[in-house]
Amino acid sequence: MAKAVKRKARIKKIATKSNDSSGQVQSLCRALSILNVIAEDEHGLTMTHIAQRTGLPLSTTHRLLTTLQHERYVRCDNDQSLWKAGVQAFIIGNAFARSRDIIATSRPFMTELMEQSGETTNLAVVDQGECIYLAQVECRQIMRVQAKPGSRVPMHSSAVGKAFLAAMPEEKAKKFIQMREFERNTDKTVVKQQELQQEVSGVRDSGYGRDDEEHCIGLRCVASVIFDEFGEPMAAVSLSGPMARICDEQFPVLGAMVKETAAKITAAMGGVAPKKIRT
């Protein structure tokens, strides 16, 4: 509720802002504020509601809606007197979706995470039941972890893999685990299905996956998922380092860092985190 109030306040502020030294055009800002409030309501809004949410006079709202309708950015359902997003808005949004590059978008945030944590950061996606690394930003430590782009890690013994499993619908993750026999990479690798399901449930609660020497002796890692515009997992960002530097007490601290980075990348990609993982 608080977020919704803040968002409405921000939109209203944009709508009522006059021309200033920032070079913003008032009419354009007002038109964009109308598009923003329409996009936030999937059922459509009446002109009166749009005016109330943007803080614009009804006459101004009518004039801008008419212009946006002419350019096909909005459309009016005359039967219900509701204004909705138009086809041109979809075309613009689709152009963004085509142009976005997960690696290029993520790299500045990965670099920031590396500087903040002092450890190497990675970007991974799921491919054929495994995780494949797309990019890495190495830390400045003499002793550091290297995961070359294209290298693969199992889902069950990696932080990125467990983060992906936790982001899946629960039944899908359960089926994934039940249909596989897992190899033991180290003495700490979780290979029993029930134990792995319990760990994935914990990841779902904490928001980040962890690898405590399960893939490689002496290596620890934490990871969190990046979501697309449909709330589906599209990639995961992680940080990894030697056990000598990542002690038990640092797991929640680094987990919070990687969660924040994943949220930033999600926003930069136009994605949205689901409110609750589906069952």
- 119 near 240, Cβ under 8 Å? yes
CATH top-level class of 2-97 = mainly alpha
pLDDT at 3: 44
Tell me if 244 sits within 8 A of 182, measured CB to CB.
Answer: no
Per-block average pLDDT, block size 10, for the chain (279 residues)?
45 47 80 92 91 95 95 93 92 71 93 95 91 91 77 91 94 88 88 90 94 91 94 94 91 95 95 74
Predicted local distance difference test score (pLDDT) of residue 99? 59
pLDDT for 98 equals 63
Question: How confident is the model at residue 159, as a pLDDT?
Answer: 94
At 145 the three-state DSSP class reads coil
Position 8 scores a pLDDT of: 46
pLDDT reported for residue 141 = 84
Global pTM reads 0.68
CATH level 3 topology of 100-268 = Beta-Lactamase (3.30.450)
Q: Under 8 Å CB-to-CB from 58, ≥6 apart: which residues?
A: 47, 48, 51
CA dist 77 and 43 (Å) reads 10
Other Cβ atoms closer than 10 A to 184: 12
Residues composing the chain: 279
Pair of tokens at residue 271: 């994605």
Is-same-fold flag (2-97; 100-268)?
Answer: no
Write down the domain spans for the chain: 2-97, 100-268
